[in-house]
Amino acid sequence: MKDEQVIQIITEVQSKLKLRDLVSDFTNLSPTPDQKFIGGCPFENCSGNIVVHSAHDIFRCDECKRNGDIITFASEITGYEFIQSLLYLKKRVGIDRFSRL
């Protein structure tokens, strides 16, 4: 896979899928007054709260210390490596280009 293809897929995934929408598939999120969403952390063995910062499209859990962007979340929640996570997100948003990754 070429680096340009990876960058194009990342850009397209980020434009079509918001992190809060992906996270809400795994836990209930509630909006806060400061453009964040909060819910129970969906990661195994964690009883903390996950906070999704919608303005920056990043997440953080203060208890288990997981944090990152949409690809990091997909990797952490599925257990996939980077490329597998990218393929998971690519399929989720319906990108059919770049079938040979």
Q: What are the sequence ranges of the domains in the chain? A: 3-88
Task: Spell out where 1-98 has E strands.
Answer: 30-31, 36-40, 49-53, 58-61, 67-68
Residue 1's pLDDT is 62
User: What is the amino acid identity at position 15?
Assistant: S
**Angle value at C-alpha 24, between 19 and 30, nearest 5 degrees:** 100
Tens place of pLDDT per residue across the chain (101 aa): 678 888 999 999 999 999 999 999 999 999 999 999 999 999 988 999 999 999 999 999 999 999 999 999 999 999 999 999 999 999 999 988 766 55
Distances (CA, A) of 86 to 31, 33, 49, 90: 27, 31, 25, 6
**Angle value at C-alpha 91, between 84 and 8, nearest 5 degrees:** 75
Distance of CA 88 to the CA centre of its chain: 11
Q: Identify the CATH class of 3-88.
A: alpha beta
Residue 99's pLDDT is 60
Residue 101's pLDDT is 54
Output the six-digit token pair for 100: 């040979």
